């Protein structure tokens, strides 16, 4: 690949922006930024948004959009926690299993509306976002559950670490769910780039009509996409619960647009057909670094949203302008 082609890829540009940003923060505030603790803190903050972003990536590639995943995540977390508390089976694997199953079920409801009734994805998921969250708060409960008060294993899972590095003062550790994020990222990468299903997802997003004529089963693929996104959301919800040590039914919802922004920054096209796992992870990392480390630059926290807004506009503007230039070039040479 030559340099030109490399620069044309948004993943590469995002990587450069990320490196530049880190370099600037590291120069201005080396002691606070360049520490193992800070690195692990950033990575920890990436886990939940990263899992959500993987699902969002798949939806965007297929040409759809899903805003209901935070509602699925919090519903999965809350109901799973309630089941665990009520039955007394205090097990972390069970929590993940329940969360994944509830997420899958709710995601398939989206699949029915989108796949069978062919309704617009944004509108459907807008409806189910309200439906799921309203149902959770009204029928299931709106009381916050503190895990440490009702469970021991589940509550202790917040201290289950993948790596612990001893430092001069105290120690730094990376939570075990980071491995889960990496595993899920590999899984999504495998599905997208090594299976027929992945081809189908890209094909639907590129040109639905053409994909149908090429023999892809659109309905079945869409069922898979929205079911899988629900499953990821359910798992993400459980991780969120473990990391925050509580199941708060008012949390998570409201983060949907931030997650979509991270995925779009990572080079996925909202019109479908394009997007990579590595770009998505870089987008998540960039958003996380900005929201947790801008203050190290001496920039007050109230600038956070402003900076993210500017980044999104630049992030979506560059490919749009590139497309325009390409079209103009083609017109000139023709």
Partner 1 sequence: MATMQTPPTSPQKLRLDSLIPRDSSLIRLLVITVVIFIAFSLAKPETFPSGTNLEAMARQMSEIGILAIAVALTMLSGGIDLSINATANLTAVTAATVLTAMTASPDTDPGTVGLAIVLAILAGVAVGLLCGLVNGFLVAYAKIPPILATLGTMTLFTGIGTVVTKGAAVFGQARLSELGNGEIGPVPIPLVIFLLAAVVISFILSRTKYGFDLYMMGTNPQAARFSGINNRSVLLRTYLLSGMLSAIAGIIILGRIDAARIDFGESYVLLAIMICVLGGIDPSGGFGRMAGVVLAVVALQLLSTGLNQVLFENSGANFFRQFAWGATLLLVLMLNYFSQRQRQRRASSEK
Footprint on this chain of partner 1 (rule: CB under 8 A): 65, 67, 113, 117-120, 122-124, 126-139, 142, 254, 257, 260-261, 264, 270-271, 300, 302-310, 312-313, 315-317, 320-321, 323-324
Residue 295 or 307 having the CB closest to partner 1? 307
The CB-of-265 to partner 1 minimum distance in angstroms stands at: 10
Residue 86 or 302 having the CB closest to partner 1? 302
The number of residues in the chain equals: 334
Beta-bridge partner residues of 145: 247
Residue 87 or 130 having the CB closest to partner 1? 130
The CB-of-315 to partner 1 minimum distance in angstroms stands at: 8
Residue 38 or 81 having the CB closest to partner 1? 81
Host H or E run for residue 65: none
Looking at the chain, list the stretches that DSSP marks H as alpha helix, in order from N- to C-terminal side.
3-8, 10-28, 30-33, 36-61, 69-87, 92-111, 121-135, 147-150, 153-156, 177-194, 196-206, 208-213, 218-244, 256-265, 277-293, 304-333
Residue 55 or 315 having the CB closest to partner 1? 315
The CB-of-60 to partner 1 minimum distance in angstroms stands at: 10
Residue 38 or 288 having the CB closest to partner 1? 288
Phi and psi (nearest 5°) for 267? 100, 0
Closest to 67 in 3D by CA, of 141, 131, 136: 131
Question: Rounded to whole angstroms, how far apart are CA atoms 315 and 10?
Answer: 8
Cβ atoms of 285 and 25 within 8 Å: the answer is no
Residue 242 or 289 having the CB closest to partner 1? 289
The CB-of-38 to partner 1 minimum distance in angstroms stands at: 24
Residue 86 or 143 having the CB closest to partner 1? 143
The CB-of-161 to partner 1 minimum distance in angstroms stands at: 34
The CB-of-288 to partner 1 minimum distance in angstroms stands at: 15
The CB-of-47 to partner 1 minimum distance in angstroms stands at: 22
Enumerate residues 6+ apart whose C-beta is below 8 A from 25: 33, 289, 293, 296, 297
Sign of CA dihedral 45, 148, 55, 174: positive
Q: Which residues of 140-163 are buried (b: 16+ CB within 10 A; e: fewer)?
A: eeeeebebeebbebbbebbeebee
The CB-of-300 to partner 1 minimum distance in angstroms stands at: 8
């Amino acid at each position: 690949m030559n340099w030109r082609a490399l620069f044309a890829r948004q993943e590469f540009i995002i990587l450069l922006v990320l490196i530049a940003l880190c370099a600037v923060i590291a120069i201005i505030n080396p002691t606070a930024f360049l520490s193992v603790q800070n690195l692990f803190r950033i990575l920890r903050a990436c886990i939940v948004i990263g899992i959500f972003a993987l699902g969002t990536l798949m939806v965007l590639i297929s040409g759809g959009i899903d805003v209901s995943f935070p509602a699925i995540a919090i519903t999965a977390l809350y109901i799973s926690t309630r089941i665990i508390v009520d039955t007394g089976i205090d097990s972390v694997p069970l929590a993940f299993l329940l969360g994944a199953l509830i997420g899958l079920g709710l995601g398939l409801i989206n699949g029915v509306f989108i796949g069978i009734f062919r309704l617009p994805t944004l509108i459907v998921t807008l409806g189910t976002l309200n439906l799921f969250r309203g149902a959770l708060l009204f029928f299931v409960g709106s009381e916050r559950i503190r895990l440490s008060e009702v469970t021991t294993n589940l509550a202790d899972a917040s201290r289950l670490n993948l790596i612990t590095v001893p430092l001069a003062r105290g120690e730094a550790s990376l939570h075990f769910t980071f491995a889960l994020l990496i595993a899920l990222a590999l899984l999504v990468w495998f599905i997208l780039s090594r299976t027929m299903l992945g081809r189908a997802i890209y094909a639907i997003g590129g040109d639905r009509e053409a994909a149908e004529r090429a023999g892809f089963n659109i309905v079945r693929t869409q069922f898979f996409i929205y079911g899988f996104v629900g499953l990821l959301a359910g798992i993400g919800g459980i991780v969120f619960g473990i990391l925050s040590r509580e199941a708060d039914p008012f949390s998570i919802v409201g983060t949907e647009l931030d997650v979509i922004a991270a995925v779009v920054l990572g080079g996925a096209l909202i019109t479908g057909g394009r997007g990579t796992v590595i770009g998505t992870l870089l987008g998540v990392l960039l958003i996380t670094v900005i929201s947790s480390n801008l203050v190290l630059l001496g920039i007050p926290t109230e600038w956070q949203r402003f900076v993210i807004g500017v980044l999104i506009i630049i992030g979506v503007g560059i490919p749009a302008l590139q497309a325009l230039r390409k079209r103009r070039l083609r017109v000139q040479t023709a």
